[in-house]
Structure 1
Amino acid sequence: MSNAKALPPLESAGTRGAVPCCPPLTERPMTAEEAGSAARMFKALGDPVRLRLFSAVASHEGGEACVCDISDVGVSQPTVSHHLKKLKEAGLLTSERRGTWVYYRVEPSVLAAMGSLLGPPSVA
């Protein structure tokens, strides 16, 4: 059993729209805490299987995907579950069990926060 703690999501609870964990990279140097938060997200996405799973969920029709629809990434089902767990711990995915299956979703605010972090500098 893993002792890894779930990371805070890329947005603040109770707010509408994306509230990035960190300022855009071009705005100012990150604090140590902001850099740690962003690094955990990038570390989670740094594995090719995880990136494929994240992309499969994000691009799936309706914005959510059953694990049964995205598990064909060339690794065993237990390995798929491990990678999905890591993406959840990084705050990149949410899940909901419905009967036998688990459905995963990338909240639009997470994608917006990632875009804000990596986006071009804002024009004043």
Structure 2
Amino acid sequence: MADWPYNTAAWQRLRRAKLAVTPLCEPCERRGDIVAANAVDHRVSIASGGDPFPPLNGLMAMCHACHNTKTAAVDRAGGKGVRFKGCDVNGLPIDDAHPFLAEGDTPSKDGKEGDRDRWGT
């Protein structure tokens, strides 16, 4: 079934629980914006071997705009691979998988090489 697990009661409970715990869009928060989350996304897609019903830290609360951007960038053929556009207050990309943040390439907010604050773990 193409919509699985999204058409199940278990997913709807998990989605509600995530939005109750994390009511704001996580990528927008990284940019310093306060936007209500209304979508829940798997941090590791089911197609990539992710758990369909992961613990809450395996999910990301997002606004529809961020969810659509992420889906177009990594879940569809021809996507550019950068899930989230923009930088945090330190000028670093908010997408922790951004090529700019390759290990050892970029100083962290405290100036130490390769010791960045990776979010979502």
Q: Above 0.5 in TM-score?
A: no
Q: Which TM-score applies when normalising by structure 2?
A: 0.23
Q: Which TM-score applies when normalising by structure 1?
A: 0.22
Where relative contact order (Cα < 8 A, 6+ residues apart) is larger, the structure is 1
* Structure richer in helix, relative to its length: 1
